[in-house]
């Protein structure tokens, strides 16, 4: 059960501030519900129960019956989820979840970092975002919601002692000024790239063939963030989910050949040419080991 001890509450993430604020109100946290969320956040929910004495229940984001069952069984304080999820882009029915949670007295917090504030502004009690994802070179996060809720979160924020340093605040303000232009370009590039790759005779490579593809790319940096001027690429199976077993990764849909691109503001033609040459290198590498593949003809 979620009986938070303020003197033991570590500084972790924006969502922790949302939960901590509830400790000072009448709706004492008892149980929080999460659905597919970024790996580091999921790990915190799983490993922090003994530290701050709460219980987190994970549910399938598409199973409304299970969500309702958990809401009825526990006194839930807050529902927290990524939507779109990272890296699979699964989207939550936010309106349906909000109606169900509110009917049981639970708040809803949606982390829409991956969509950015340009593409999505969830109508929920609170919204959290990671600032480094769209304003690089800083470490920070933000949470938004009603004035009543945010004022309580601010009070807890002062208690936790984790304000932004002036330079980080400046970098975020500077990044926000060009965010719309960058996200608009990224959206256009991602759509055109998806349309291009739909027509490509792709090869379903294994873990090592996919690593060959990623290593063959010349323009994107290999990194786990997204939203900057430079394109980034990562292979979740060996990066953000490296500590999961193959069976655990398969259970949550993280395939060995999954690649996540976070396009920047480079010219589409340059990015497309780079991806196509990397695919060709991967195919040649596969053919050298498996000459009977159709693509090797």
Measured between alpha carbons, how far is 293 from 249 in angstroms, rounded to an integer?
26
CB 228 within 8 A of CB 12: no
Instruction: State the fold for domain 175-288.
Output: 3.90.1150
Domain with CATH 3.90.1150.10 in the chain: 175-288
pLDDT at 264: 92
Measured between alpha carbons, how far is 88 from 201 in angstroms, rounded to an integer?
22
pLDDT at 241: 87
Cβ-based neighbour number of residue 29 at 10 Å: 26
Domain with CATH 3.40.640.10 in the chain: 15-23+30-162
pLDDT at 193: 93
Q: In terms of CATH architecture, what is 15-23+30-162?
A: 3-Layer(aba) Sandwich (3.40)
pLDDT at 102: 92
pLDDT at 63: 85
pLDDT at 153: 76
pLDDT at 191: 94
pLDDT at 33: 53
pLDDT at 90: 85
Mean pLDDT by 10 residues, the chain (297 residues): 30 32 35 52 62 71 86 87 86 90 90 85 74 66 82 74 78 86 92 89 77 94 83 91 87 89 94 94 79 58
pLDDT at 274: 97
pLDDT at 88: 85
């Amino acid at each position: 059960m979620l009986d938070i001890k303020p003197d033991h509450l570590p500084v972790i993430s924006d969502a922790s501030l949302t939960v901590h604020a509830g400790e000072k109100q009448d709706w004492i946290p008892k149980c929080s519900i999460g659905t597919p969320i970024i790996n580091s956040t999921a790990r915190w929910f799983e490993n922090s129960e003994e530290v701050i004495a709460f219980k987190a229940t994970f549910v399938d984001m598409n199973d409304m019956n299970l969500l309702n069952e958990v809401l009825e069984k526990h006194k839930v304080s807050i529902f927290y989820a990524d939507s779109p999820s990272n890296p699979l882009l699964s989207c939550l029915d936010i309106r349906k979840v909000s109606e169900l949670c509110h009917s049981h007295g639970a708040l809803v917090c949606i982390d829409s970092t991956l969509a950015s504030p340009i593409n999505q502004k969830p109508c929920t009690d609170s919204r959290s975002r990671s600032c480094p994802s769209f304003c690089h070179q800083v470490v920070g996060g933000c949470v938004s919601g009603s004035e009543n809720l945010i004022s309580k979160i601010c009070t807890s924020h002062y208690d936790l002692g984790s304000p932004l340093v002036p330079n980080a605040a400046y970098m975020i303000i500077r990044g926000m000024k060009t965010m719309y232009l960058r996200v608009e370009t990224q959206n256009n590039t991602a759509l055109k790239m998806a349309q291009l790759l739909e027509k490509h005779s792709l090869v379903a490579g294994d873990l090592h063939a996919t690593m060959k593809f990623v290593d063959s790319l010349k323009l994107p940096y290999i990194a786990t963030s997204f939203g900057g001027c430079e394109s980034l690429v990562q292979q979740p199976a060996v990066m953000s989910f490296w500590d999961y077993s193959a069976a655990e990764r398969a259970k949550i849909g993280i395939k060995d050949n999954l690649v996540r691109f976070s396009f920047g503001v480079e010219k589409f033609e340059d990015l497309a040419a780079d991806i196509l040459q990397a695919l060709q290198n991967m195919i040649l590498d596969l053919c050298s080991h498996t000459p009977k593949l159709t693509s090797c003809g």
